[in-house]
Structure 1
Amino acid sequence: MKHLVKTSVGVMQVYENYIVAIVNEGETVTDLSNADLFKIVKNHFKNKKFIYISYRVNSYAVDPIIYIQASKIENLIGFAIVSSKKIARINSQIEQIFSKKPLKTFTDINDATEWANNTIKEAEEK
């Protein structure tokens, strides 16, 4: 991990090719939460492609509208949602409707980070 950034709703772990976001229990992720993401992108991924991984270890609400704004980040090339909970994976199908970027769901964080690294590598080879 390169950096750990505390946000208004949790923490974001910044790595070379991706961000892992862990939201606090009971929070609601809204458009305002995207401000933290935009700051991190500006500081850590200026002209570098990256993946956003939502690691859902806690229970919280997500306003799917956030995907419309986040999808405008040009160097963001995909989203991953990681959860062992069936309801979170079902909710991710709804969230995917709002995303203009690829969105994949995983039950294991290692699978998500491997996908992120491979996706970045493929994008850089193009």
Structure 2
Amino acid sequence: MARPLKTLELEFTVLEFFDNYVISQPREGELLAGKQVAALVEVCSDFYAEKNFVYLSYRVNDYNVNPTIYLNLNEVRNLAGIGVVSRKPSSLNMASFEKRFCKIPYEIFLDLDKALLWTQEVIEEKNKKADL
């Protein structure tokens, strides 16, 4: 995997920014709710400006997500999709539940390599739609 272009540590997660995706590794025991999502949207919007990107949640720690955070993410124009990467059954079950609330492409993966392949597909699809 390539080296991140930028790494940013927030109170609740560590973000690694790449060309067209960001990997977020939330900290143990955190709750991702409205305030945290607003911070994520702000830093990702600053980094990617008008460029399409995918948000990858790399779930190695146990934390909680308020699933209603997904309801308005379709308003982030350049967010092409959300991927969840985990091998933990509890994280996979939670991600499957969260997916019901998301209005943009959302997929679940057991390994990062498959998530990165999907990222390219989602970016290409979003770019095609933008060209129409």
Identity of aligned residues (%): 30
Structure 1 length-normalised TM: 0.92
Q: How far apart in 1 are the matches of 2:35 and 2:43? A: 14
Q: Which deviates more, 60-69 or 76-85? A: 60-69
Is it true that 1:21 corresponds to 2:24 in the alignment? yes
- What SS is found at the alignment partner of 2:116? helix
The 5 Å alignment of 1:45-56 reads 45-56=48-59
Q: How far apart in 1 are the matches of 2:74 and 2:61? A: 24
State the 4+ residue runs in structure 1 displaced beyond 3 angstroms: none
Structure 2 length-normalised TM: 0.88
Shift of 1:35: 2.1
Q: How far apart in 1 are the matches of 2:98 and 2:92? A: 10
Match of 2:82 among 76, 79, 82: 79
How many residue pairs get aligned? The number is 126
- What is the Cα-based RMSD across aligned positions, in Å? 1.3
Is it true that 1:103 corresponds to 2:106 in the alignment? yes
Is it true that 1:58 corresponds to 2:61 in the alignment? yes
Shift of 1:36: 2.0
Which residues of structure 1 form unaligned runs of 5+?
none
